[in-house]
Amino acid sequence: MSLPFTATRAILRKREGLEHPDGEIESLVSGLLDGSVADYQMTAWMMAVFFKGMTVGETTRLTRAMLGSGSELPSWGGGSRIVDKHSTGGVGDKISLIVAPIVAACGLRVPMISGRSLGHTGGTLDKLESIPGYTVHLEPARFMRIVDTVGCSIAGASQEIVPADRRMYALRDVAGIVESVPLIVSSILSKKAAAKLDGLVFDVKVGSGGFSSDRERARLLGQRLVETGTLLGMRCEALLTWMEEPLGAAAGNGLEAAESIRFLRGESVAGDLIEVTYEVAAAMLRVSGAEAEDDARLRVRDAVQSGRALERFEAMVRAQGGDTGVIDDPDVLSTAPIRLEVHSPEPGFVQGVRARAVGEIVVDLGGGRLKADDSVDPGVGVWFHARSGDPVEKGSILAEIHARDLSEARTAASRLLAAYEFGPAAPVRVPLVLETIVPDPSATAADESMRPSR
């Protein structure tokens, strides 16, 4: 006969690396919310999870318990499939702004509940809020109406969705427990599952600007997201994508929104951004169950070239109160008063620009946040003219800093120059999508531990 639940017993069990019996994880989560489990007990248990890991079955139970702590969106009416994507976060990663309208233009519905920037990585909501009037605060009924009529909506999570995650994430943040694979998986998936998705694509960023430079660790996260998401009833795929250099030409909120609009207008934009965006969009079509590989790529391209994706973006901005004038004139989003060019100190080829350094420069210019309640400056950032593979002369323009004042711009310029690497020949080009992870039909729910790999 099993003993009654106590938080102490649950902590000791995980401390010893044992699997939780049915009901124990659920009692921890409900206890956190009703006050019978103290913050310090939840923190101790999560630290034990950090060191001992969890099985896929335990992670799925944790995700369901977190999901059950709040309200889900009501069921979607009949019609096209419901799909979304999640990025683990990178520098210059504006893919969400571009793929949501592309996939909507391909006939699917995309209810994208997104987050804000934290640390060196940017946040989709901050980028969209650089569009005057655009609101990310939508009641669930309005959010769903926009998805049903426009095909996509990008908004923040309401307070009612997964309150357990907000409490747990705040404890993880202050106690140094953010980087635990099972806790990341349950945090991401509980919020995504609340939107009742049919399909979900994960973009797991590998490299100094992304989730981890350790490809094995990124692969483990991708596999666990796919396995757990599948057990929760969604069709899932994960792409491991390279994040050693910022994605596209812009880093900074308004500049990235402008680059996204240029992409949807079919204007010439950076090849790396096109490559990863099209792969993520095609994967979203595949997880909807509707498309074969080649058809998916063709439909994605056609959605942009026909202008239909831009129309969906414009309709979304209008529906969320934003100024659609930015579609015709994206330059109005470059609002910082100071522009400072950064010049190449030598001739040769750019070998790379360190993404993490660029992310930190944008934060220090005021474009990111170190604490969850910091405000961000929509206008500041970096616009690149030369990135890896580009030939440069001594004195060529490498990039332009957008800043609030000249002394901040000068500091950013010298740090940016230090983030560049030059060499005598063009570097070997690497494909940016490193791997695609699909569900393993032979995987079982309980046989694998989710220990961190260090």
Contacts to ligand URA by CB under 6 A: 169, 184, 187-188
Active site residue 124: yes
Whether residue 349 contacts residue 421, with contact meaning beta carbons closer than 8 Å, is answered with: no
Nearest to 271 by CA among 292, 289, 248: 248
Catalytic member of 27, 43, 84, 116: 84
Helix (H) or strand (E) holding 397: strand 397-403
DSSP reduced 3-state for 453: coil
Active site residue 192: yes
CA 44 – CA 271 distance, rounded (Å): 46
Whether residue 148 contacts residue 80, with contact meaning beta carbons closer than 8 Å, is answered with: no
CA 134 – CA 50 distance, rounded (Å): 38
Active site residue 87: yes
Which residue in the shown chain puts its C-beta closest to ligand URA?
187
Our CB check for ligand URA shows the closer of 169 and 422 to be: 169
Our CB check for ligand URA shows the closer of 168 and 303 to be: 168
Our CB check for ligand URA shows the closer of 188 and 333 to be: 188
The values of phi and psi at residue 428, to 5°, are: -70, 130
Our CB check for ligand URA shows the closer of 47 and 102 to be: 47
Catalytic member of 55, 88, 117, 124: 124
Shortest Å distance, C-beta 447 to ligand URA: 24
Shortest Å distance, C-beta 169 to ligand URA: 6
Shortest Å distance, C-beta 188 to ligand URA: 5
Shortest Å distance, C-beta 74 to ligand URA: 22
Shortest Å distance, C-beta 267 to ligand URA: 32
Residue type for position 255: L
Helix (H) or strand (E) holding 401: strand 397-403
Q: Which two tokens stand for residue 5?
A: 């639940």
CA 197 – CA 185 distance, rounded (Å): 16
CA 187 – CA 229 distance, rounded (Å): 12
Active site residue 86: yes
Active site residue 377: no
Active site residue 205: no
CA 447 – CA 271 distance, rounded (Å): 41
Our CB check for ligand URA shows the closer of 206 and 249 to be: 206
Catalytic member of 191, 205, 219, 308: 191
Residues with catalytic function: 84-87, 124, 172, 187, 191-192
